[in-house]
Amino acid sequence: MARLRIAILISGRGSNMASLLAACRDGRVAADPVLVLSNRADAAGLAIAEGAGVATRLLSHRGFAERAAFDAALDAALKEAGAELVCLAGFMRLLTRGFVEAWRNRMINIHPSLLPAFPGLDTHRRALAAGVRFAGCTVHYVRFETDTGPIVAQAAVPVLAGDDETSLAGRVLEAEHRLYPLAIGLIAAGKVRIEGERAVVEAEDPPPASLLNPIGMAGPDR
């Protein structure tokens, strides 16, 4: 089976990108990263990708008067790289409906909450304010409406006594670094299909226990 060609879009430090590159490199994910693209010149993830030998590109949104023009250039860059799946990893740009539809069911995102709870920004602050007992993260296919689309995988993280936004965000980020490679691995293996607005996962084996048992995420050897 041919390896999936993925492009990763970032705007900052690229920690989820780094976890994806490592998973592709060590064989956990049957995918080849063909491009890491950022809309910001100061994105630290670009240097990480270059160090890993992955093609990088800066496409600054500041050089475009209209959002649609930027998205057209982004679309061209992805096609030029031969990307088959677009992975948003902290890409802080709202995408136009036309772009999202052009990459429908070929673009995924990771969001730091258990969607559909807490879409948008400030997820950890809102989760703490709501008094939820579990937070987490979600990998989903992208739709035009913010943080919607078929859910591929989720990981739960307990909210501990004394948590603040920083401590909770740190544990959720650790879960993201496990979950995103897992989800892309399922897609690359052809084990995910879209039925209506649901993602059906045909995994032969269950995901790691740490992704099913939220208490395990709080252990000292996580």
Q: Enumerate the active-site residues.
A: 111
H helices of the chain, where? 15-25, 44-51, 67-81, 97-102, 123-130, 165-188, 209-212
Six-digit token pair at 12?
A: 């900052």
Long-range pairs of 58-65 with CB within 8 A, sequence gap ≥ 24: 61/93
Q: Give residues with Cβ within 8 angstroms of 133, minimum separation 6.
A: 158, 159
The percent helix, strand, coil of the chain (3-state, each to 5) is 40, 25, 40
